[in-house]
Amino acid sequence: MDQCKTAYRTHNCGELRLTEAGQSVTLSGFLENFREVGANLGFAVLRDFYGVTQVVCETEDMVKAFKALNKESTVQVTGMVRERDSKNPKLPTGDIEVVPSALTVLGKCRHNELPFQVNRSREADEAIRLKHRYLDLRNPDVKKNIILRSQVVAALRSSMIDHGFMEITTPILTASSPEGARDYLVPSRKHPGKFYALPQAPQQFKQLLMASGFDKYFQIAPCFRDEDARGDRSPGEFYQLDMEMAFASQEDVFAVLEDVLPPIFAKYGAYDTASSAPFLRIPYREAMETYGTDKPDLRIDLTVTDATALLADCGFEPFAGNTVKAVVVDQFEGTRKQIDKLCADVEVQAGNKAYWFRYDENKELVGGIAKFVQEKKEAVVEALGLTPGCFVALSAGKLGAAQKTAGVLVKMLGAFCPNHMKKEQYAFCWIVDFPMYEIGEESGALEFCHNPFSMPAGGSEALKKAAAGEIDPLSITADQYDLVCNGIELSSGAVRNHDPEIMVEAFRLVGLGEEDVKAKFPAMYNAFTYGAPPHAGIAPGVDRMVMLLAGEDSIREIIPFPMNKNAQDLMMDAPSFVTDAQLEELNIKVTAKEEE
């Protein structure tokens, strides 16, 4: 049976060809447009999920019937297929047209004016698009991203099953736990004063599955985090390809993803080239030194050079006593106006100023801060490998700030200089050997850098030495890794700390004792005391993957019903106030309300 044949249609609007000429057909869809040529002639465009078909009205009654309808009304048309005199090679159905004998209105559009023209909805204001998302999704250009998402999820699921993984769903209502972001809390009606939390990730549950004797787990997991939006992060909820393997190492996890992802990116991506296994592996500290970021875009061939010893004492005040980083671009053709804009954009993104000078065709240092480096000209040219026509961008500050600014410079200069960026490819890499600990920016105290459940390199011995003051805790690395593609972090993963004694040692360094560990992670701690297998995992973000594959800059373009940047669903009017009766039943009192 034809999958599109239903009680309302014999064919879909993208299906008819010359082979159907002479047949009587019934189509159903949305009235995209109607153009009246005369009293006895008009052209309608009918659109459904599959495509569009031209309908030609050749009687006064039929012209009146179509003319009476507002655009986007849902209609059923029965008529005869015939060959078009004026064919449209841009359409799959461009060789035929349908001459209607009957028109039935299935769903009348009651609005004379639409909030936007459907087939140009992407040009409309985003707030209007989100409020009328059901109309926005009728646009084939918008719909194709959702179709792509479905195809990619199906391909991921199929590939994971082929690799021996079992799909298991984990709870949505769970306990609040300190995993790095704010929880979404759900009040309990039956237990006054207590709250569930929506999971930031299925982290603990998937590790518990490994302790339960399951060997390879995965799911397309919904995750919930109360955090601000970014271009590559949707507020509220997102989905990830969550996976975990028992009796597995970092290498085993890498092998799975290096086999699963490249074929999917090559098949469904906007670019047909993707990195093949093995992906480049870059230690975290090397990434920060070489690229100024732990999310390098390897399509860009620019790198960062440390220029502290070279320029810190050049007399330019922002360099004095600071780390100085340089990014050298050969064959640079930017104008002064373009350079000023670039520096302004860098400052907005990095929160730190950028500086510059050129080495011109006459082998002179000119522009920007050139006067401060003239006395070191020969050393600068040699150390930075300058050739005539080079542009040198610089950052300065404490190490982290200088690195971050240099990383933004690499990204922006790569985008500005086509000869330094091979854009049409998917360039993967692994960032490995992350620090286990860091000094918190707000607390000033030792904190976990990434994931507290990761296995520290050196195990308990390294932790005990750090506790005894024999080594710096900041020198301890962890078996943690990030998967990065085109400058976007797709995923974080780790070899897990499955030994409760090592877990207690790891938490003791950040000021939490064994009782704290038991209280915060009771299920996992107790499960591990029964003998857990070594295990490792990762969870690539599905939304970010599809965003990359679709070639979109905003993650909202690939989510069926996204929130706006303020975590509001404008279509459903969420979040919204609830009644006093609902609050009373949950034993909740609201002390402050947002102004309406």
364-384 per-position pLDDT tens digit: 999 999 999 999 999 999 999
pLDDT tens for 396-409 read 999 999 999 999 99
pLDDT greater than 60 at residue 1: no
Q: How, if at all, do strands 195-198 and 184-187 pair?
A: antiparallel
Nearest to 372 by CA among 352, 393, 388, 356: 356
pLDDT tens for 480-512 read 999 999 999 999 999 999 999 999 999 999 998
Cβ proximity of 506 and 452 under 8 Å = yes
CA distance 577 to 583: 10
Task: Tell me the sheet residues that pair with 190.
Answer: none
pLDDT at 454 (0 to 100): 92
CA distance 548 to 297: 13
pLDDT band per the 50, 70, 90 thresholds, residue 182: confident
pLDDT greater than 90 at residue 223: yes
pLDDT at 272 (0 to 100): 86
pLDDT greater than 70 at residue 126: yes
Over residues 294-323, the mean pLDDT reads: 95
The Cβ-side half-sphere exposure at 451, using a 13 Å CA radius, reads 26
DSSP at 485: E
E strands present in 284-411: 304-306, 323-329, 354-359, 365-366, 390-397
Nearest to 204 by CA among 541, 539, 543, 545: 539
pLDDT at 440 (0 to 100): 85
Nearest to 420 by CA among 300, 338, 339: 300
pLDDT at 230 (0 to 100): 72
- Let me know if 75 is exposed, middle or buried by CB neighbors in 10 A (0-12, 13-18, 19+): buried
Cα radius of gyration (the chain): 30
pLDDT band per the 50, 70, 90 thresholds, residue 391: very high
Write the CB contacts of 413 (distance below 8 Å, at least 6 apart in sequence): 300, 302, 327, 329, 342, 393, 420
On average, the pLDDT of the chain sits at: 94
How much of the chain, in percent, has pLDDT values that exceed 90?
Answer: 86
pLDDT band per the 50, 70, 90 thresholds, residue 596: low
More confident residue, 452 or 21: 21
pLDDT at 231 (0 to 100): 65
pLDDT greater than 60 at residue 27: yes
pLDDT at 451 (0 to 100): 79
pTM comes to: 0.91
335 phi and psi angles, rounded to 5 deg: -85, 170
